[in-house]
Structure 1
């Protein structure tokens, strides 16, 4: 486990070339405290054993990334197409995994409206989250809506600011629906610190990485290596009272210098050190 003054987590998206078992083994050995589970890495026949192995390794679960996590079909998960089937997939994920991850957020986003109708997408997402919020409450977990970066608009999402996400969350009418605050996605929002303050205790999970001008749909870098004012965003988030895991989530596909092709154990060490340094600065900046 880490010796950091906060719970340090890694999303399994950060180490996509590793298997689920390799993730758990390496994270436990590399000073990671928490794992953000990616459902797509689970074996359909062994998922219960795999989920239990996280606690056996001394790790906690920070959140779950469902295999189908958008209300409208997206580039990452285009099928199934019908809304009711996608909601059914999200419900099934909650029902089968919540018993192994009590209290954690299940992360979702809107998906892109096929006609670019942002207003309708927000209404559909609010209604779907209201329904899933009730399911989550019944199973002792929560839902976390993630606004994505403008690079993903009409590809993976219809919303791209924290305020838009909070409008959807409030319209859901469920106390079990909150915010997934991913700094890579929202750091360029106008008035981001005020939006984080508005979110308050509806921040259910936090993710970090760093920004360079993307060369593909998946081109994130290690915290501290890019343009994001990480310490300032951490300070704003800490001011809300957020006390959950701080999770590094990196995607690195279709670029010549993909982090997935390098030493991922060393990358995790760099992430841990950078998050610790940013946390320390967040108390002074």
Structure 2
């Protein structure tokens, strides 16, 4: 089997039962190359030292999930409610964590439109991203807007396709603001591979897992065990020019076969194998 071309990373939501310290130590021991830090796992009084632990363990910090990562309220993080307070919280995360995570992308999405007013949500998101993108650039990091699956419309997001995200990025118009491409979220959109290629250099973050019809709002599978055509999406991402980290991001709560209750070391190992197999099988398919 050919080498998987992307560096392999793990998002800390994937190992929800582990502490931050356990994540760092166990990822490094498993040969994981990069970590996507979830601020919710950090101790606010000790975050700087904790982040330094990742680099000391040999893990690149590919991305950060801020504690508050939507400008409008969301089901996952409903408080604070006021938009300005949420923007301030996001900016605070940038100022605190970015100096210790140089080169990382801070992932965000719109949040849920108030009273279903998607246009207002998009307009204000653009407004605040125009404010925060120069700050991110000054701090040596980027912002990555993530379109979410249609199951999250009016609960977590006002955008659910790559092209909607690209329209938003065009409106922001700053090179520090790009795209977070989560295959679980976008694989069902029409002509998905072509949309990935169109995104090109604006892809800052890539996340992978696999799909079954969800049994809860937090139900993702090990790559290769579901129905997402991962091989085609991975190849389209490579053809788009992305050369960064492919990050495993799994949620698995409120389901009878939760991966959080299984051996998470094995979940990571099988996920890495599944991604490599998807890449290889698709390459063999197109080359014969």
Do Structure 1 and Structure 2 share a fold, with TM-score over 0.5? yes
Matched residue, 2:79: 79
Give the TM-score, by structure 2 length: 0.96
RMSD over aligned CA atoms reads 1.1
My pick for the range that moved more, 267-276 or 225-234, is 267-276
Q: Distance in 1 between matches of 2:7 and 2:209?
A: 16
Q: Runs (4+) of structure 1 moved beyond 6 Å? A: none
Which secondary structure does the structure 2 equivalent of 1:71 belong to?
coil
Are residues 1:240 and 2:235 paired?
A: no
1:132-188 deviation digits (Å, cap 9, x = unpaired): 111101101000000000000011111100000111111112111000000000000
Aligned pairs for 1:195-214 (under 5 A) are 195-214=195-214
- How far 1:12 sits from its partner (Å)? 0.1
Aligned positions, number: 283
Paired residues of 1:234 and 1:282 also in contact (CA < 8 A): no
CA shift, 1:24, in A, is 0.4
Rounded Cα–Cα distance in structure 1 between residues aligned with 2:104 and 2:282: 25
Q: Give the TM-score normalised by structure 1.
A: 0.97
- Which residue is equivalent to 1:185? 185
Aligned position for 2:253: 253
Residue 4 of structure 1 and its aligned partner are, at CA, apart by 4.8
1:153 aligns with 2:164: no
Deviation of residue 62 (structure 1)? 1.1
Gaps of 5+ in 1: none
8 Å contact 2:133–2:142 — kept in the other structure? yes
Q: How far apart, in 2, do the equivalents of 1:187 and 1:6 lie?
A: 19
Shift of 1:28: 0.4
2: distance between equivalents of 1:172 and 1:137? 14
Give the structure 2 partner of residue 194 of structure 1: 194
